[in-house]
Amino acid sequence: MAQRGSGGPIRALGAVLDGADLRVALVESDGARLSGLGPLAQAALAPDDPEGALAGVLAGFDGVDIIGLHAEQGPLPFDTRLVATALSVPVVSDFAGADLRLGGAGGPLTPFFHHAWAGWRAAGGPVMFVDLGEVLRVSWADPAMARPEQAGACLAFDAGPGCASVVAGGASDEPDEAVLARLLGQAHFARLPPRWIEPREFAWLPAALAAMPPARAQATQLACIALAFEDALTHLPRPPERVVLTGPGRRVPLIRATIAGLVACPVAEIEAVGLDDNMVQAQAIAQLAVRVSRGLATTCPTTTGVAAAVGGGEIAWPET
């Protein structure tokens, strides 16, 4: 494995566990910039031997220099030293621990990958990733900045409520102005990024939409998304030159059209730019594993709210 201070690209695997579901992706990177994206894999881990099942999946990738492991929820259910020894490859884990200890939110962990991808594929201009799930989340990256932890290089935050209950069809109607006024009156919109939606802060919204006729609910939900997105644009260091839509809402034509009508740049679903929405987290973990091996930052104040740039991650070395 290339050591701290080395400059050349290395091959890294990122493996993300969500329950029993394992998603694996390979990247080639020097820690700052990508030089290639490799194969992807998805598998279910056997609960009676998680280390063995994981090692079996990861062994299918050749020429790997380092592996990053991350669990979406809770701790990893295996000993990373056993995995490192079984594969004879160092394993990096606990990407969020140092960030949390220094006052950060522990995530998101994707912005530094977005920055690296933007430098590789986005022709130098800022890229805004918009996650259209239950929460509308933003990750903005400017590859003109050499390092993702630099001021003005990355920004990530919750823009507002997302599209979990959007009505995707029916005749158009006018949005409910009382709901929009209540939305903008929430304390969330008075906080500066990076900011995260507090538990139950917008819990009233689905019930309010459900009480409306479908056409009005559709118009109101789209207006909520538009307001949150417009507010997010005001916090960006520079306007995006490309918007990439992720999450389930990217599939809804009305939502895509709403977002596209608010920016003067191309708007595309993530698949149209050559990425797999289900695998970006694994690719991000691979990129962070390279950064850990090079002694580089993995989070910073504008991505998690941590006090200063943090080099997180713990390396488990193969036992000999």
pLDDT digits (tens, 9 = 90+) for 146-192: 999 999 999 999 999 998 665 555 556 899 999 999 999 999 999 99
CA nearest neighbour of 9 among 31, 26, 24, 40: 31
Contact 231, 142 (CB under 8 A): no
Residue 2 lies in a domain: no
What percent of the chain stands above pLDDT 70?
95
Given a cut of 60, is residue 2 above it in pLDDT?
A: no
In a shared domain, residues 247 and 290: no
Residue 106 lies in a domain: no
pLDDT at 85: 94
Supply 44's token pair: 């279910």
Supply 53's token pair: 């099942």
Contact 74, 106 (CB under 8 A): no
Residue 263 lies in a domain: yes
Residue 235 lies in a domain: yes
Measured torsion, CA atoms of residues 183, 184, 187, 192, in degrees rounded to the nearest 10: 130
In a shared domain, residues 57 and 188: no
pLDDT at 50: 83
In the block, tokens 């977002």 appear at 259
- The residue among 163 and 39 whose pLDDT is bigger is 39
In a shared domain, residues 126 and 88: no
In a shared domain, residues 243 and 182: yes
Residue 101 lies in a domain: no
| H or E element that contains 256 | helix 253-260
Find residue 268's DSSP bridge partners: 244
In a shared domain, residues 123 and 241: yes
In a shared domain, residues 133 and 86: no
pLDDT at 6: 55
Q: What is the maximal distance between C-alpha atoms in the chain? A: 68
In a shared domain, residues 77 and 20: yes
User: Regarding beta strands 242-246 and 267-269, do their DSSP bridges make them parallel or antiparallel, or are they unpaired?
Assistant: parallel
Residues in the chain: 320
Residue 1 lies in a domain: no
Sign of the C-alpha dihedral, residues 301, 113, 232, 128? positive
CATH of the domain at 25: 3.30.420.40
In a shared domain, residues 214 and 175: yes
Residue 216 lies in a domain: yes
In a shared domain, residues 46 and 195: no
In a shared domain, residues 267 and 289: no
pLDDT at 249: 94
In a shared domain, residues 171 and 52: no
Mean pLDDT over residues 28-54, rounded? 91
CA nearest neighbour of 236 among 127, 124, 160: 127
Q: Which domain holds residue 119?
A: 111-273
In a shared domain, residues 31 and 72: yes
Nearby residues of 97 by Cβ (< 8 Å), 6 or more positions away: 106, 312, 314
Supply 79's token pair: 């000993």
Number of domains in the chain: 2
Q: What is the pTM of this model?
A: 0.94
Give the CA angle between residues 292, 297, 298 to the nearest 5°: 75
First CA to last CA distance, the chain: 16
pLDDT digits (tens, 9 = 90+) for 286-300: 999 999 999 999 999
Nearby residues of 126 by Cβ (< 8 Å), 6 or more positions away: 118, 140, 141, 142, 143, 144, 236, 237, 238, 239, 240, 241, 242
pLDDT digits (tens, 9 = 90+) for 224-274: 999 999 999 999 999 999 999 999 999 999 999 999 999 999 999 999 999
CA nearest neighbour of 119 among 92, 154, 95: 154
What average pLDDT does the chain have? 93
Given a cut of 80, is residue 19 above it in pLDDT?
A: yes
**What SS3 string covers 104-160?**
CCCCCCCHHHHHHHHHHHCCCCCEEEEEECCEEEEEEECCCCCCCCCCCCEEEEEEE
Mean pLDDT over residues 53-64, rounded? 92
| E strand map for the chain | 10-18, 21-29, 34-44, 66-71, 91-93, 127-132, 135-141, 154-161, 242-246, 267-269, 314-316
